[in-house]
């Protein structure tokens, strides 16, 4: 059993060397990171500054350049968990149904009587008709607006649920449509958040969906969660509305289908607007900073064809009336329509500074978030704190390592040295694997590595203790070593499988730093079994072949 | 023979059941006391589980908790606690405090405006103060995190129960799980006793303790299984004693190296993860104790069916090999 075939020896050594090579860049972290950043910059822009070129050349490109990702708690940065108000979209969707519903019902006004919208909860639309007797016909007409939902789960379902009771027709979104809408809302929100965060140019942000209506956003290197919130939380929801009139305060009666919106600041008072927007920012194809005829900063925009048509029709029918440009629930200007605007482009004037106009243009181009967000969880870690943690973790790991190595050597002599070599290889392998899969190292992850340093020798201890026992029973060191490995095997397997199970559960259920801990633990278990069973054994075998000791000192 | 550090002599014949009433009774007492502590004193839940905001500040000036408190009082933030943090790693002019603020009304634990006013108030009280980290968890998320935590501990325990059951016999699996429950309860108990902050990372530590403790227990069980085949007629109690004695040296060695590494981290690893490392260190001690004094007592109490001719295949694989080796 001490004879290990050559191919196995080569394979073991090759794996160890590969691990060491993959781990090596982490020793030169800042240099390799600058090198990688320079390469990424080159890929993006195709050109490099002198500094970037120097950074690129500081690390030879033929060497491995994979690095362990540092978690937010080590690098510093911000973490946000946002909940998207998906039901806002239902309400907007229902609101936009009203003009269509009015049209189909008005066509049969002769039999149905007068059609009007009545107050209703946000998740439904209620329409009253004049002739209660004709309710069945009204429901039938409104149902023609419904269309089948295209989704995996809602096959055969329509998007609208229309019911009639007395003289009221009630329209709701169906379950399937809600699910489909949620998905669209989330995808859109994710995309917009991603674009906004990317625009800020930070390194490797994590933006992902969690559960049905949440988004997790982690941005390393950003100053604070508040900054990140400001970056993504600005909704920049732009709509154009018909102005019905002016109001004295926010609580004035507006009438069904109308809303009261505040002016840009207090002295502008309040406007009564038609709730249904003529066009919205979604239909913008371009927005850029510009100046108006008086040289004040403004934002020029252009609509897509649908938007342009709607805007053109509206302006043609309402010449001489004011319309309102509403941004984030404030009327930023309410110009009077002078002519029919047919080209689908125009400028927004407000009381902007140059910076504000530029920011607004960027936000409009990126698109508006389809729904509002609440931030359920936020964490900011300063870069100094992260650096302190890395430093403390490094010192603790080195001290722990030296102490364990000393303890092993004192206890097992030469075999302790073998175990210590295996331990060092083990740590290199952990870093090598983490670098090559770009796993994230967190502060608990460092603790996981230190714990692995302590526990990794366990498999070796099991074997050595067993060899000691066998030495007392059988003749000859070779046989004892052989039996030691063989008999310790089942304990090693059972002990590590159970630890692996808990680590796996940690990984599946944990989040953030805890997951980072689970990753190092899982990798640590795998590498420690590998090093104990193969690396130490190879060392022992090579030593035994050379020396052929008559007696084993263990 | 060269010098060898030996914490445990080569051959030991301790009777681990001699003071069974005492050791097992002690464990039962610890578990009951821990449950009592948690019920009466509760746990010092961190914001992960309770919702709220923690702010870590750093200043070059000596910390005046009173001044901070007075500065924050006009902001009407509800329950605010301010504690100074000490750590051997800190520089002489590094004064760190943790400020914890209860969750404010609504889904968000704190509004950006409140955060700004807190920073301004602190700056007014101490010109050199810097906010180095803030964490805030809304009540909605914290409620879910509690359940995730409970689920993960239960799931891990159940998975281990099943694995041990498959690999050994059901009595072993009950013994192992009893040891795990013991370890978890006693660890939670000490967190309650000292009112150490109990947050998500502590749950990770608890799961690690589960892993470590089961690791220890399994090594003893593995030897027990082997010895049950070897000494077919010896009373179960004696076979158990032999097994624990034979593995004692290994148990002490592994606990030793693990504790060495953990203590290095406990002392030098910084205050941010101290609670986490403390839980693991304590868990290693308790876990080692429980695999020697709790798990096998339960197995002894339940008894093992030793006349089974038909072994399950997993057992057979190893026992056959061992039998070969002995011939």
Q: Choose among A380, A388, A489: nearest Cβ to B270.
A: A388
* Residue B233 placed within a domain: yes
Query: A406-414: long-range contacts at Cβ-Cβ below 8 A with a sequence spacing of 24 or more?
Result: A407/B5, A407/B256, A407/B257, A407/B260, A408/A457, A408/A460, A408/B257, A410/B3, A410/B4, A410/B5, A411/B4, A411/B5, A411/B6, A411/B7, A411/B253, A412/A464, A412/A554, A412/B4, A413/A553, A413/A554, A413/B2, A413/B4, A414/A543, A414/A553
B116, A468: Cβ pair inside 8 Å? no
Per-residue pLDDT at A205 exceeds 90: no
DSSP state at residue A76: -
| Domain range annotation of chain A | 6-23+383-547, 87-176, 240-340
pLDDT in tens, B101-158: 988 887 777 887 888 899 899 998 888 898 999 999 988 888 888 888 888 888 888 9
Q: Which CATH class name applies to A240-340? A: alpha beta
* Residue B314 placed within a domain: no
pTM of the model: 0.78
Question: Are both B57 and B25 inside the same structural domain?
Answer: no
Return the residue in B211, B224, B244, B326 with the most chain A beta carbons within 10 A, the one to mutate for interface testing: B211
On whether any CB of chain B is under 8 Å from the CB of A246, the answer is no
**What is the residue range of B118's domain?**
52-137
Return the residue in A233, A494, A510 with the most chain B beta carbons within 10 A, the one to mutate for interface testing: A494
Question: Are both B170 and B27 inside the same structural domain?
Answer: yes
Which of B120, B137, B154 lies at the terminal end of a domain, its last residue?
Answer: B137
* Residue B25 placed within a domain: yes
pLDDT confidence bin for A284, thresholds 50/70/90: confident
* Residue B7 placed within a domain: no
Distance separating alpha carbons of residues B264 and A450, to the nearest angstrom: 9
Question: Are both B271 and B193 inside the same structural domain?
Answer: yes
Q: Which of 1.20.1640.10, 1.10.10.10, 3.40.50.720, 3.40.50.300 is the CATH number of A6-23+383-547?
A: 1.20.1640.10
Per-residue pLDDT at B29 exceeds 90: yes
* Residue B208 placed within a domain: yes
Question: Are both B131 and B204 inside the same structural domain?
Answer: no
Question: Are both B214 and B264 inside the same structural domain?
Answer: yes
A491, B256: Cβ pair inside 8 Å? no
* Residue B182 placed within a domain: yes
Question: Are both B173 and B252 inside the same structural domain?
Answer: yes
On whether any CB of chain A is under 8 Å from the CB of B316, the answer is no
- Of chain B residues 175-204, which have a CB less than 8 A from chain A? 200-201, 203-204
Per-residue pLDDT at B314 exceeds 60: no
Distance separating alpha carbons of residues A248 and A95, to the nearest angstrom: 25
pLDDT confidence bin for B175, thresholds 50/70/90: very high
CATH code of the domain containing B151:
1.20.1640.10
Question: Are both B293 and B176 inside the same structural domain?
Answer: yes
Instruction: Write out chain B residues lying below 8 Å of A396, CB-based.
Output: 264-265, 267-269
Q: Strands, E, within B25-90: which ranges?
A: 44-45, 52-59, 80-85
The separation between the first and the last C-alpha atoms of chain B, rounded to the nearest angstrom, is: 30
Question: Are both B171 and B261 inside the same structural domain?
Answer: yes
On whether any CB of chain B is under 8 Å from the CB of A450, the answer is yes
Q: Which CATH class name applies to A87-176? A: alpha beta
* Residue B82 placed within a domain: yes
Question: Are both B205 and B124 inside the same structural domain?
Answer: no
pLDDT in tens, A21-73: 999 999 888 888 888 888 888 887 777 788 888 888 888 888 888 888 888 88
In this prediction, residue B307 carries a pLDDT of 62
Region A447-475: mean pLDDT is 87
CATH code of the domain containing B76:
3.30.70.2040
Tally of structural domains, chain B: 2
pLDDT in tens, A83-132: 998 888 888 778 778 878 888 888 888 888 888 888 888 788 888 888 88
Is B132 within 8 Å of B90 (Cβ atoms)?
A: no
* Residue B175 placed within a domain: yes
Distances (CA, A) of A136 to A116, A127, A148, A161: 17, 13, 21, 14
B260, A454: Cβ pair inside 8 Å? yes
Question: Searching chain B, which residue's CA lies closest to the CA of residue A517?
Answer: B204
Question: Are both B77 and B26 inside the same structural domain?
Answer: no
Which of B116, B137, B158 lies at the terminal end of a domain, its last residue?
Answer: B137
Question: Are both B108 and B159 inside the same structural domain?
Answer: no
């Amino acid at each position: 059993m001490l004879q290990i075939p050559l191919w196995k020896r080569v394979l073991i050594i090759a794996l160890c060397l590969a691990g060491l090579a993959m781990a090596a860049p982490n020793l030169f972290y800042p240099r390799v990171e600058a090198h990688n950043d320079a390469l990424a910059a080159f890929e993006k822009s195709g050109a490099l500054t002198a500094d970037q070129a120097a950074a690129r050349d500081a690390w030879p490109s033929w060497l491995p350049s994979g690095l362990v990702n540092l978690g937010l708690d080590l690098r510093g940065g911000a973490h946000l968990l946002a909940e998207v108000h998906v039901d806002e979209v239902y309400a907007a969707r229902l609101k936009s149904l009203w003009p269509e519903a009015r049209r189909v019902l008005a066509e049969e006004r002769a039999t149905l009587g007068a059609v009007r919208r009545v107050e209703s909860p946000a998740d439904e639309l209620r329409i009253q008709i004049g002739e209660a007797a004709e309710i069945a016909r009204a429901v039938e007409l409104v149902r023609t607006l419904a269309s089948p939902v295209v989704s995996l789960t809602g096959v055969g379902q329509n998007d609208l649920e229309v019911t009639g009771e007395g003289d009221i027709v009630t329209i709701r979104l169906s379950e399937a449509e809600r699910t489909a809408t949620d998905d669209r809302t989330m995808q859109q929100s994710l995309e917009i958040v991603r674009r906004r965060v990317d625009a800020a140019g930070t390194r490797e942000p994590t933006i992902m969906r969690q559960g049905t209506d949440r988004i997790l956003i982690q941005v390393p290197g950003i100053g604070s969660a508040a900054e990140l919130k400001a970056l993504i939380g600005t909704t920049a929801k732009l709509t154009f509305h018909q102005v019905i009139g002016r109001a004295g305060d926010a609580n004035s009666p507006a009438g069904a289908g109308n809303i009261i919106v505040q002016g840009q600041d207090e002295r502008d008072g309040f406007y009564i607007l038609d709730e249904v927007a003529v066009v919205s920012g979604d239909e913008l194809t371009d927005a850029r900073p510009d100046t108006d005829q008086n040289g004040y900063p403004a934002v020029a925009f252009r609509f897509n064809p649908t938007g342009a048509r709607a805007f053109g029709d509206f302006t043609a029918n309402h010449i001489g009336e004011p319309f309102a440009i509403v941004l984030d629930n404030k009327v930023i200007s309410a110009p009077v329509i002078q002519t029919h605007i047919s080209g689908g482009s125009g400028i927004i004037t407000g009381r902007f500074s140059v910076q504000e106009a530029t920011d607004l243009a960027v936000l409009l181009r990126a698109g508006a978030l389809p729904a509002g967000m609440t931030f359920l969880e936020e964490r900011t870690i300063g870069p100094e704190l992260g650096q302190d943690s890395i430093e403390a973790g490094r010192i603790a790991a080195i001290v722990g390592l030296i102490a364990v190595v000393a303890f092993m050597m004192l206890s097992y002599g030469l075999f302790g040295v073998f175990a210590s070599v295996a331990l060092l290889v083990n740590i290199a392998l952990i870093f090598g694997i983490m670098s090559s899969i770009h796993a994230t190292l967190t502060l608990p992850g460092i603790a996981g590595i230190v714990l692995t340093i302590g526990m990794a020798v366990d498999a070796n201890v099991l074997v050595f203790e067993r060899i000691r026992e066998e030495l007392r029973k059988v003749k000859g060191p070779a046989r004892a070593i052989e039996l030691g490995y063989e008999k310790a095997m089942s304990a090693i397997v059972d002990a590590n499988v159970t630890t692996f199970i808990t680590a796996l559960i940690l990984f599946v259920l944990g989040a953030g730093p805890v997951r980072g801990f689970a990753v190092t633990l899982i990798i640590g278990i795998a590498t420690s079994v590998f090093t104990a069973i193969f690396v130490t054994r190879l060392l022992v075998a090579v030593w035994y072949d050379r020396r052929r000791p008559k007696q084993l000192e263990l | 023979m060269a010098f060898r550090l030996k914490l445990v002599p080569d051959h030991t014949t301790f009777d681990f059941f001699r003071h069974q009433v005492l050791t097992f009774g002690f464990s039962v007492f610890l578990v009951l006391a821990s449950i009592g502590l948690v019920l009466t004193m509760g746990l010092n839940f961190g914001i992960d589980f309770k919702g709220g905001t923690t702010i870590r500040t750093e200043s070059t000036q000596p910390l005046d908790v009173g001044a901070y408190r007075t500065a924050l009082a006009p902001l009407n933030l509800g329950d605010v606690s301010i504690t100074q943090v000490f750590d051997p790693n800190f520089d002489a002019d590094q004064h760190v405090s943790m400020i914890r603020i209860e969750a404010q009304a609504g889904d968000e634990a704190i509004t950006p405006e409140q955060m700004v006013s807190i920073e301004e108030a602190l700056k007014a009280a101490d010109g050199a103060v810097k906010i180095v980290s803030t964490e805030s968890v809304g009540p909605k998320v914290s409620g879910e995190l509690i359940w995730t935590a409970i689920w993960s501990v239960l799931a891990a325990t159940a998975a281990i129960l099943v694995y041990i059951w498959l690999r050994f016999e059901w009595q072993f699996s009950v013994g192992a799980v009893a040891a795990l429950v013991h370890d978890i309860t006693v660890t939670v108990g000490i967190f309650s006793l000292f009112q150490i902050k109990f947050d998500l990372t502590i749950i990770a530590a608890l799961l690690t303790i589960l892993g470590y403790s089961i690791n220890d227990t399994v090594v003893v069980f593995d030897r027990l299984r082997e010895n049950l085949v070897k000494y077919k007629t010896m009373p179960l109690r004696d076979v158990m004693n032999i097994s624990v004695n034979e593995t004692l040296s290994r148990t002490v060695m592994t606990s030793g190296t693990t504790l060495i590494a953990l203590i290095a981290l406990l002392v030098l690893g910084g205050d941010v993860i101290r609670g986490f490392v403390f839980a693991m260190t304590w868990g290693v001690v308790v876990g080692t104790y429980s695999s020697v004094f709790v798990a096998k007592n339960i197995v002894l109490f339940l008894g093992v069916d030793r006349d089974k001719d038909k072994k399950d295949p997993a057992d057979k694989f190893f026992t056959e090999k061992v039998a070969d080796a002995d011939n």
